[in-house]
Structure 1
Amino acid sequence: MTSKNIFLKLAIALISVTIIILAGVLIVNSIQGKVNWVLIVILFAEASLLNSLIKTLQERK
C-alpha cells in the first residue's frame, strides 16, 4: 500500500467523523427548533468531498 493510499484513507476517516459530528449537532439543533442553514450546506460539501475521495481511492486500486 502506498503512502498516498494511506493518507487518502486517513482523510476519508476524518471526513466521515466530521460528518457524523455535524449530523449530530444538526439533529440536536432540529430538536430544539433551530435550523442552521450554514451547517446543512457544510454537511453537503463534506459529503461531496467524501464521495470524491472514495471514488479516487477506488480508481487507484
Structure 2
Amino acid sequence: MVGADIISVAELTQKLFADAKAIGIGSIEIEEETGSVYEMILDAIIHQEAGLLG
C-alpha cells in the first residue's frame, strides 16, 4: 500500500478545484484537459514516493 493518505488526495483535489474556480476555471474545463484530477494527484504522489524510496 502506498503511503498516500486517500483523504489527503481528496482534500487536494477539492482545493485545486476551489482555487481554479476562484480564478475563473471550471472543473469541467480542467477534467477535459487532464482527465481525472484525483487520479493525477494520486499518481504524482505514488511516483514521488517511489522516487524517494528508490
Smaller-chain TM-score range? 0.3 to 0.5
- TM-score, structure 1 normalization: 0.40
TM-score (norm 2): 0.44
Q: Choose between structure 1 and 2: higher helix proportion.
A: 1
